[in-house]
Structure 1
Amino acid sequence: MPAAFRRSPAARPPRQRPRLPWWALALPVVSFAVLLALVAGSSRAGAAEVPQGLGPLLEILARIVRSGAG
């Protein structure tokens, strides 16, 4: 490499640390707090009543097939 393209160490500008905007820290904190509140509030929610087993599923499928054929 020719000497004309080399930079001396003194010619480099001093490095500056980039500063983050205020919202770069606030946004994750607020998001975490909202999600935590949603999860903590859902402990009182009850499960929906759903019939268990294969019988109800077969009844629903039979109704779908009958309604499509008629």
Structure 2
Amino acid sequence: MSAHTHTRPHPATTGRVDIRLPWWALALPALAFITLLLMILNPADAHAAGSDPAITHMFERVQQAVLHNAR
């Protein structure tokens, strides 16, 4: 005679995945993004030797567009 096995009842599923991230998993990428954005928006502080004027012009245009849209 075979013995019956007992299976655990599965908890009710809500159809979504429950993932909990530590606070730094969102804070560090946000901090890096803000730092890079500030570096792009203030190209006068960048002391690059012999930089291409086209790149500098492009950064100035991006800065003007961002500042214009922020008003």
Fold conserved between structures, TM > 0.5: no
- Which has the higher Rg, Structure 1 or Structure 2? 1
The two structures have a TM-score, normalised by structure 1, of 0.41
Whose relative contact order is higher, 1 or 2, with alpha carbons under 8 Å and at least 6 apart? 2
The two structures have a TM-score, normalised by structure 2, of 0.40
